[in-house]
């Protein structure tokens, strides 16, 4: 067995035993380790390599179509009956499988021979370099992420894949916060689908313990400041992120009233991407509101101001972030990840938080899950 193969197998074994979680530099992905007993080891090496490539591409914000090929190939492989992958590899018919092309077949071939695929090697070299300078001590203090999406709404991956990637990053918990009903473009969850999701999360939590999926939602703040989900259901969730996704250009006074009404709602925990701005491509200007009034409401009602780490958002902008620090607000540094590799975007938010003087003890996701839930129970 080659050195690289030994490395992959060792890492897989270590992860299976719950050891070593650097999440960035390791050769193998822990995603799909749940199938550890049912997938043969060479097939698993190939699946891990494909998922690891996808993770690293997502982490560097490569276009979804490039990433999808690798995730699709991994899914195809995990559905194959025992022995078929080896047979096809020997016959040279890998590319006849749905979703396997030239590039993915080459990756699979390398992994089956016990080598680290050359495609993966090149990406791993890049992964050694931090995605952003600064924020390292804050990042190290974070225990989880309170804003993520799965393929139940507009995310690209199943809940389990997201959560296994979070475990590999060293998180102890992640809040699953798919969209609410009115956000139809993002397949927002009706009350019934959310209830269905809660049952799925319960089952997964049994499997993934001690890691914990916090139940949650990214609920739309409607035009009148009400939240777009049944209040009883919101009360049942562990984490409620509330965000403005519509009528972003509302007059300043109306927007201030809308946001403060939501913040005063006892079900809300985190104010998501408060200005709604987009800073790449054509971009989108910030919504206008009286930031002092909004942040004062956050402070008074114990709602954390989200520091959204997505590179196209980086919301709030520095001047507002500094204002919220000065006003005594609490924060939540979240990725708003829509794919596993995006869970590794927290350093973007941490770097900005550090620049603006956010103290670690005012970042709520430096707390344990139990502390977070106790905090919610007090609201
Ligand atoms: Zn949002
Ligand atoms: Zn979101």
Residues 261-308 have pLDDT tens digits of: 999 999 999 999 999 999 999 999 999 999 999 999 999 999 999 999
Report helix, strand and coil shares of the chain as percent, to nearest 5: 50, 10, 40
Spacing, Cα 317 to ligand 2 middle (Å) = 17
Q: Is the pLDDT of residue 20 over 50?
A: no
Confidence at residue 379, expressed as pLDDT on a 0 to 100 scale = 67
Of the ligands numbered here, which is closest to the C-alpha atom of 315?
1
- Identify the sign of the CA torsion 297, 298, 299, 303: positive
* CA of residue 242 to ligand 1 center, whole Å: 8
Residue pair 168/176 in contact (Cβ under 8 Å)? The answer is no
Ligand closest to 337 (CA) is: 2
CA dist., res. 15 & res. 375, Å (int):
32
pLDDT computed for residue 125 by the predictor: 87
The answer to whether residue 50 scores a pLDDT higher than 90 is yes
- Ligand 1 mean position to 245 CA, how many Å? 6
Q: Report CA(305)–ligand 1 centroid distance (Å).
A: 13
Neighbours of ion ligand 1 (CB under 5 A): 243
Span 342-350, average pLDDT: 98
CA of 316 to the centre of ligand 1 (A): 13
Please check the confidence at residue 11 and state whether its pLDDT lies above 80: no
Q: For residue range 95-138, what is the model confidence (pLDDT) as tens digits? A: 999 999 999 999 999 999 999 999 999 999 888 888 999 999 99
Separation of alpha carbons 22 and 41, rounded Å? 22
pLDDT confidence bin for 7, thresholds 50/70/90: very low
Give distance in angstroms: CA of 288 to centre of ligand 1: 17
Average pLDDT, the chain: 90
- From the CA of 149, the nearest ligand is 2
pLDDT of residue 234: 98
Q: What is the mean pLDDT of residues 88-101?
A: 95
Indicate if the pLDDT at residue 18 is higher than 80: no
Tell me, in angstroms, the distance from the centre of ligand 2 to residue 243's CA.
8
Reported as type and span, the H/E element at residue 324 is: helix 318-326
Point out the ligand nearest to the CA of residue 145.
Answer: 2
* Ligand whose nearest atom lies closest to the CA of 155: 2
Span from the CA of 147 to the centroid of ligand 1 (angstroms): 9
C-alpha of residue 104 to centroid of ligand 2, in Å? 30
What local confidence, expressed as pLDDT, does residue 129 receive?
85
Q: pTM of this prediction?
A: 0.87
Question: For the ranges 81-95, 123-137, 168-182, which has the lowest average pLDDT?
Answer: 123-137
152 CA to centre of ligand 2 in angstroms: 13
Predicted local distance difference test score (pLDDT) of residue 23? 33
pLDDT at 39: 65
State in Å: Cα 219 to ligand 1 middle: 8
Residue 32's pLDDT is what? 43
Any residues with CB less than 8 A from the CB of 123 and at least 6 apart, and which?
53, 56, 57
Q: Which of 3-12, 40-49, 180-189, 262-271 has the lowest mean pLDDT?
A: 3-12
- Cα separation, 163 vs 369, in Å, equals 15
Q: What is the pLDDT of residue 44?
A: 92
Span from the CA of 88 to the centroid of ligand 1 (angstroms): 43
- Say which residue, 358 or 18, is predicted with more confidence: 358
pLDDT of residue 73 exceeding 70, the answer is: yes
Per-residue pLDDT reduced to its tens digit, 313-331: 999 999 999 999 999 999 9
Q: β-pairing, 239-243 with 212-220?
A: parallel
- Calpha distance 84→254 (Å, rounded): 61
Residue 315 or residue 24, greater confidence: 315
Between 118-127 and 41-59, two packed helices, what is the crossing angle to 10 degrees?
40
Tens of pLDDT along 185-231? 999 999 999 999 999 999 999 999 999 999 999 999 999 999 999 99
Distance of CA 221 to the CA centre of its chain: 21
User: What does the H/E/C string look like for 148-202?
Assistant: ECCCCCCCCCCHHHHHHHHHHCCCCEEEECCECCCCHHHCCCCHHHHHHHHHHHH
């Amino acid at each position: 067995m080659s050195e690289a193969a030994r490395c992959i197998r060792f890492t897989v074994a270590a992860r299976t035993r719950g050891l070593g979680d650097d999440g960035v530099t390791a050769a193998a992905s822990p995603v799909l380790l749940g199938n550890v007993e049912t997938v043969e080891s060479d097939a698993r090496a190939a699946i891990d390599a494909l998922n690891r490539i996808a993770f690293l591409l997502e982490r560097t914000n490569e276009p979804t179509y490039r990433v999808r090929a690798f995730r699709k190939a991994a899914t195809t492989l995990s559905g194959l009956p025992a022995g078929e992958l080896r047979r096809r590899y020997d016959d040279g018919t890998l590319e006849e499988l749905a979703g396997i092309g030239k590039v993915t077949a080459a990756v699979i071939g390398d992994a089956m021979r016990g080598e680290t695929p050359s495609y993966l090697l090149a990406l791993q070299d890049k992964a050694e370099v931090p995605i952003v300078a600064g924020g390292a001590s804050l990042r190290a203090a974070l225990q989880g992420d309170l804003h993520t999406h799965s393929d139940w709404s507009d995310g690209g991956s199943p809940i389990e894949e997201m959560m296994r990637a979070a475990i590999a990053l060293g998180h102890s918990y992640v809040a699953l916060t798919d969209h609410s009903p009115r956000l139809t473009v993002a397949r927002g969850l009706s009350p019934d689908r959310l209830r269905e999701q809660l049952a799925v999360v319960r089952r997964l939590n049994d499997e993934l313990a001690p890691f914990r999926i916090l139940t949650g939602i990214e609920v739309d703040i409607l035009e009148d400041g009400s939240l777009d989900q049944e209040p009883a259901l919101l009360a049942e969730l562990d984490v409620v992120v509330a965000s403005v996704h519509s009528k972003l250009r509302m007059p300043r006074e109306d927007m201030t009233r809308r946001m403060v009404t939501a913040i005063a709602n006892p079900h809300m925990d985190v104010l998501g991407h408060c200005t709604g701005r987009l800073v790449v491509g054509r971009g989108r200007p910030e919504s206008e509101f009286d930031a002092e009034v909004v942040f004062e409401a956050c402070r008074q009602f114990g709602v954390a101001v989200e520091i959204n780490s997505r590179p196209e958002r980086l919301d709030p902008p520095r001047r507002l972030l500094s204002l919220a620090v000065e006003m005594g607000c609490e924060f939540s540094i979240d990725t708003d990840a829509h794919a596993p590799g995006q869970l590794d975007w927290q350093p973007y938010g941490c770097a900005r938080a550090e620049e603006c003087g956010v103290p670690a003890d005012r970042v709520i996701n430096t707390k344990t899950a139990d502390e977070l839930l106790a905090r919610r129970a007090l609201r």
